[in-house]
Chains A and B, each alone.
Chain A
Amino acid sequence: MVVMHMACMAQKAATPAEQKSMIEKVETTAASIKSMQCDFVQEKTLSLLNDKMTSKGVMFYRKPNQLRWEYLSPYTYTFIFNDTKVLLKSSQKKDVIDVRSSQLFQEIARIMMNSVTGKCLSDKSNFAVTMYKAGDEWTAKLVPQKKNMKQMFSTIILHINPKEGVVNKVEMTEKTGDSTVILLKNIVKNGKIDDKVFSIH
């Protein structure tokens, strides 16, 4: 967590005018994203277990409410969020859940979709945003504003490619100090994605 904050501080905070134009650029890109797919590397630090967990996989997103988060290594496991249903599929079994009554599923899926697309920069009711810039990278530091969100995260840091206006790294730090870093690679925007990718059957 300290390292993440130091990394942010090493960058120069944007002036209010710069911040406005940076957020506008990301918002414009986010609005233009109808679909997105990429590879990811997820690293989770667990202080209580004194352990670090690294997983790799692929992500597919399609507006407004479809997300496939598929781990390929070190194990295979797929999470598909499709409007009101979630499919959890491991190599042995699968479960389908109706998420209409689950605030947790909806909230977390929404945070993830908004983080990887950059939409959460315009979510003023949920986050206070500070933009930083250094060389060829922008960083957005998001501090949760609502009680439920504050209890889940202390900060979310998005690393943004200024040329593309897309998020290529998400760092989430929990209240307990445990962190998750998700690196997004080989990002393809608005490519055709087969409906089967989001099928929960």
Chain B
Amino acid sequence: MTRFSAFISALAFATALSAQTSVGNKTVNVGESVRYSTLISFRGSGVSGISILKLKEENMLVGALINEFGIKAMDFTYNCKKGKAKLVNVISFLDKWYIRKVVQADLAFMLKTTESTTTKRRVLTVEDDGSIDLQNKKYNINYHLIPITEDATKE
């Protein structure tokens, strides 16, 4: 009986874990979303706005980067189990195969890593306040995400 209870508890714990994921140091449950003020800069150019990441279903994180006026720069999916990101829609200015390839790989790296990490190609910094900075050293692309906390004035 004790063994059976322990098994059920372990199963419940495993199920609960798969129904959540981490973005930086934030935990996101199924149906929940997190928002970041975002700046992606590359070779003197850039795109800014608000990123929304939502755990749509178990192991499936979906996200979008929307500029300040509501125009979507890109949206993407991230399979938490496989650690793979896929850009779904990308604004025309950025919609080049080589940009897609690099951004997808950077997003996957960012979303599967929850602590500050340095590799040959990338430097990821996760701050205590939840900010995420990713530098792609090879292509000189910087991703700068600052968590947005909803104000008490929310209506």
Contact = CB atoms under 8 A, between A and B. Distances in A.
Interface stretch (B34-42, B99-107, B115-123): B34-42
B146 interface: yes
Contacts of B149: 75, 91
A166 to B, nearest CB: 18
A91 B48 CA distance: 16
B72 A174 contact: yes
B45 to A, nearest CB: 4
A46 B71 contact: no
Nearest to A42: B70
A171 B8 CA distance: 52
Contacts of B54: 49, 51
A197 interface: no
A73 B72 contact: no
A50 B48 contact: no
B64 A46 contact: yes
Nearest to A76: B151
Contacts, number: 127
B69 A73 contact: no
> Which bucket holds chain B's interface residue count?
35 or more
Contact of A50 (B56, B129, B151): B56
Contacts of A186: none
A73 to B, nearest CB: 5
A147 B92 contact: yes
A72 B48 contact: no
A104 B148 CA distance: 23
State which size class the interface on A falls in.
Answer: 35 or more
A189 to B, nearest CB: 20
Residue in B63, B68, B129 with the greatest tally of chain A CB atoms within 10 Å: B68
B30 interface: no
Interface stretch (A9-17, A30-38, A175-183): A175-183
A105 to B, nearest CB: 7
A148 B93 contact: yes
Interface string B32-67: 010101010101111110101010100000111011
B131 interface: yes
A172 B69 CA distance: 10
A147 B91 CA distance: 12
B93 A73 contact: no
Given A44-B66, A48-B62, A104-B91, A92 B72 contact: no
Given A95-B39, A102-B47, 10 more contacts: A44-B66, A48-B77, A72-B153, A73-B151, A75-B35, A75-B148, A79-B68, A108-B69, A174-B89, A175-B89
21 contacts: A42-B69, A46-B66, A48-B88, A53-B66, A73-B154, A75-B150, A76-B151, A79-B68, A92-B129, A92-B131, A95-B39, A101-B43, A103-B93, A104-B91, A104-B94, A108-B67, A148-B92, A148-B93, A151-B92, A174-B71, A178-B72
